Amino acid sequence: MTMTQTERVFLTLQKNRTLTSAEAFSLLGVLHLPRRVKDLRELGVLIDSEQVGGLNRHGSPCHWTVYKLNKASPIPECFTKPVEKSKKAKHDFYLLGLLKAARMLLDSADLEAAKAALGSEIRRRAKRETAKVRGS
Protein backbone atom coordinates (compact mmCIF):
# COMPACT_ATOMS: atom_id res chain seq x y z
CA MET A 1 0.00 0.00 0.00
CA THR A 2 1.36 3.45 -0.87
CA MET A 3 1.37 6.28 1.62
CA THR A 4 0.07 9.75 0.90
CA GLN A 5 2.40 12.73 1.02
CA THR A 6 0.74 13.86 4.25
CA GLU A 7 1.37 10.47 5.85
CA ARG A 8 5.04 10.55 4.76
CA VAL A 9 5.48 14.04 6.23
CA PHE A 10 3.81 13.02 9.50
CA LEU A 11 5.95 9.89 9.88
CA THR A 12 9.13 11.87 9.17
CA LEU A 13 8.24 14.52 11.73
CA GLN A 14 7.25 11.82 14.22
CA LYS A 15 10.79 10.38 14.11
CA ASN A 16 11.98 13.49 16.00
CA ARG A 17 13.15 15.11 12.82
CA THR A 18 12.95 18.62 11.58
CA LEU A 19 11.91 19.13 8.01
CA THR A 20 12.39 21.90 5.46
CA SER A 21 10.79 22.28 2.04
CA ALA A 22 14.03 21.30 0.31
CA GLU A 23 14.35 18.14 2.43
CA ALA A 24 10.70 17.25 1.89
CA PHE A 25 11.16 17.49 -1.86
CA SER A 26 14.40 15.52 -2.04
CA LEU A 27 13.61 12.86 0.60
CA LEU A 28 9.83 12.47 0.38
CA GLY A 29 8.88 13.79 -3.05
CA VAL A 30 6.67 16.48 -1.50
CA LEU A 31 6.70 19.57 -3.69
CA HIS A 32 4.78 21.96 -1.40
CA LEU A 33 5.49 21.16 2.26
CA PRO A 34 3.48 24.08 3.73
CA ARG A 35 0.27 22.62 2.24
CA ARG A 36 0.95 19.19 3.79
CA VAL A 37 1.70 20.89 7.14
CA LYS A 38 -1.61 22.77 6.86
CA ASP A 39 -3.41 19.48 6.16
CA LEU A 40 -1.85 17.95 9.27
CA ARG A 41 -2.74 20.97 11.39
CA GLU A 42 -6.35 20.72 10.19
CA LEU A 43 -6.34 17.11 11.46
CA GLY A 44 -5.27 18.37 14.91
CA VAL A 45 -1.52 17.72 14.70
CA LEU A 46 0.55 20.36 16.52
CA ILE A 47 3.50 21.39 14.36
CA ASP A 48 5.96 24.10 15.34
CA SER A 49 7.53 26.23 12.65
CA GLU A 50 10.60 28.43 12.87
CA GLN A 51 11.95 30.94 10.36
CA VAL A 52 15.69 30.46 9.85
CA GLY A 53 18.00 32.78 7.95
CA GLY A 54 21.29 32.23 6.23
CA LEU A 55 23.12 32.66 2.96
CA ASN A 56 22.30 30.87 -0.26
CA ARG A 57 24.93 29.31 -2.53
CA HIS A 58 25.53 32.72 -4.16
CA GLY A 59 26.16 34.45 -0.85
CA SER A 60 22.87 36.34 -0.79
CA PRO A 61 20.77 36.40 2.37
CA CYS A 62 17.74 34.11 2.36
CA HIS A 63 15.32 32.47 4.79
CA TRP A 64 13.40 29.23 5.05
CA THR A 65 11.03 27.53 7.45
CA VAL A 66 11.93 24.53 9.62
CA TYR A 67 9.00 22.38 10.80
CA LYS A 68 9.05 20.13 13.88
CA LEU A 69 6.35 18.03 15.50
CA ASN A 70 5.31 19.35 18.91
CA LYS A 71 5.87 16.76 21.66
CA ALA A 72 2.31 17.29 22.97
CA SER A 73 0.77 16.63 19.56
CA PRO A 74 -1.91 13.94 19.40
CA ILE A 75 -1.74 11.29 16.70
CA PRO A 76 -4.72 11.67 14.34
CA GLU A 77 -7.09 8.71 14.28
CA CYS A 78 -6.57 8.29 10.54
CA PHE A 79 -2.89 7.40 11.20
CA THR A 80 -3.55 4.79 13.90
CA LYS A 81 -5.45 2.18 11.90
CA PRO A 82 -2.90 0.39 9.71
CA VAL A 83 -5.34 -1.21 7.28
CA GLU A 84 -7.71 1.64 6.59
CA LYS A 85 -5.58 4.68 7.31
CA SER A 86 -5.26 5.88 3.72
CA LYS A 87 -9.03 5.55 3.17
CA LYS A 88 -9.70 7.46 6.39
CA ALA A 89 -7.17 10.17 5.50
CA LYS A 90 -8.70 10.58 2.04
CA HIS A 91 -12.15 10.80 3.63
CA ASP A 92 -10.97 13.43 6.13
CA PHE A 93 -9.34 15.50 3.38
CA TYR A 94 -12.51 15.15 1.31
CA LEU A 95 -14.58 16.46 4.22
CA LEU A 96 -12.17 19.37 4.68
CA GLY A 97 -12.57 20.16 0.99
CA LEU A 98 -16.35 20.11 1.35
CA LEU A 99 -16.16 22.46 4.31
CA LYS A 100 -14.01 24.87 2.32
CA ALA A 101 -16.40 24.65 -0.63
CA ALA A 102 -19.33 25.26 1.69
CA ARG A 103 -17.68 28.37 3.13
CA MET A 104 -16.97 29.73 -0.35
CA LEU A 105 -20.50 28.98 -1.55
CA LEU A 106 -22.13 30.47 1.53
CA ASP A 107 -20.21 33.68 0.95
CA SER A 108 -22.02 34.01 -2.37
CA ALA A 109 -25.10 36.19 -2.66
CA ASP A 110 -27.58 33.41 -3.56
CA LEU A 111 -27.84 31.23 -0.46
CA GLU A 112 -30.32 28.75 -1.98
CA ALA A 113 -28.08 28.13 -5.01
CA ALA A 114 -25.14 27.59 -2.66
CA LYS A 115 -27.05 25.00 -0.62
CA ALA A 116 -28.20 23.18 -3.77
CA ALA A 117 -24.68 23.06 -5.23
CA LEU A 118 -23.19 21.73 -2.01
CA GLY A 119 -25.96 19.16 -1.58
CA SER A 120 -25.53 17.84 -5.14
CA GLU A 121 -21.76 17.53 -4.60
CA ILE A 122 -22.31 15.51 -1.41
CA ARG A 123 -24.85 13.22 -3.12
CA ARG A 124 -22.56 12.70 -6.13
CA ARG A 125 -19.61 11.79 -3.93
CA ALA A 126 -21.69 9.49 -1.70
CA LYS A 127 -23.01 7.63 -4.74
CA ARG A 128 -19.48 7.16 -6.11
CA GLU A 129 -18.11 5.93 -2.76
CA THR A 130 -21.02 3.50 -2.37
CA ALA A 131 -20.37 2.09 -5.83
CA LYS A 132 -16.68 1.59 -4.94
CA VAL A 133 -17.56 -0.30 -1.75
CA ARG A 134 -20.06 -2.53 -3.48
CA GLY A 135 -17.60 -3.26 -6.28
CA SER A 136 -14.87 -4.32 -3.84
Q: What is the pLDDT of residues 45-100, one digit of tens each?
A: 999 999 999 998 999 999 999 999 998 887 777 766 554 455 556 666 666 665 55
Q: What is the pLDDT of residue 40?
A: 93
**Which residue among 58, 77, 96 closes a domain?**
77
Which CA distances in Å does 84 have to 18, 72, 89, 116?
A: 27, 25, 9, 31
Q: Are 49 and 65 in contact (CB under 8 A)?
A: yes
CATH number of the structural domain spanning residue 37: 1.10.10
Signed CA dihedral, 122, 124, 130, 133: sign only: negative
Q: Are 79 and 99 in contact (CB under 8 A)?
A: no
Same domain (yes/no): 72, 106: no
What is the domain count for the chain?
A: 2
33, pLDDT greater than 80: yes
Domain of residue 20, residue span: 5-77
What are the DSSP calls for 71-112, one per residue? TTPPPPGGGT-TTTHHHHHHHHHHHHHHHHHHHHHHTSS-HH
Same domain (yes/no): 73, 17: yes
Same domain (yes/no): 36, 91: no
Same domain (yes/no): 118, 70: no
Same domain (yes/no): 48, 111: no
Q: Are 81 and 88 in contact (CB under 8 A)?
A: yes
Q: Are 25 and 35 in contact (CB under 8 A)?
A: no
Same domain (yes/no): 14, 66: yes
Q: pTM, whole model, 2 decimals?
A: 0.56
Give the residue from 87, 19, 96 showing the smallest Cα distance to 11: 19
**Which residue among 62, 77, 92 closes a domain?**
77
Q: Is 119 exposed, middle or buried (0-12, 13-18, 19+ CB in 10 A)?
A: exposed
Same domain (yes/no): 19, 66: yes
Same domain (yes/no): 72, 116: no
Q: Are 1 and 86 in contact (CB under 8 A)?
A: yes
